[in-house]
């Protein structure tokens, strides 16, 4: 595991470290989608982050939704996710619907 611009990434990653800007990734995309969702439904309760990777999107989702359900099937990526999402308690129920048929809950 390596620490790059404020994010833990798997040692094997050669892609994302080149695209993280100002400590974030795809900021404009996330802000646009969240603004649209809030416009359509102001009260946000649940979010499903399928393929949550290291938590780029989950970090914003946990600040917006009451519950975020996230999963990723790759163990090295999940380890980074847990280190990156530190502002709220995580409850691991099983990280991959393919392997465990459950989603983990990320509670606010």
pLDDT, one tens digit per residue, over 24-60 is 778 888 888 888 888 877 777 788 888 888 888 888 8
17 with 9: CB under 8 angstroms? yes
pLDDT above 90 covers a percentage of the chain that reads 7
Pick from 58, 2, 64: nearest CA to 25: 58
Owning domain of residue 88: 2-107
Domains identified in the chain, total number: 1
The pTM assigned to this predicted structure is 0.72
The 3-state DSSP class for residue 68 equals strand
Within 13 Å of residue 85, how many CA atoms lie on the same side as its CB? 29
The two three-digit tokens of residue 64, written as one number = 């917006």
């Amino acid at each position: 595991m390596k620490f790059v611009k404020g994010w833990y990434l798997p040692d094997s990653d050669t892609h994302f470290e080149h695209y993280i800007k100002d400590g974030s990734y795809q900021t404009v995309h996330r802000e646009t989608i969240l603004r649209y969702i809030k416009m359509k439904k102001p009260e946000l309760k649940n979010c499903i982050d399928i393929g949550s990777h290291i938590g780029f999107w989950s970090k914003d989702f946990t600040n917006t939704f009451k519950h975020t359900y996230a999963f990723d099937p790759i163990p090295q990526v999940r380890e980074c996710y847990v280190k990156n999402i530190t502002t709220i308690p995580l409850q691991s129920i099983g990280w991959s619907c393919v392997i465990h048929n459950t989603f983990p809950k990320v509670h606010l």
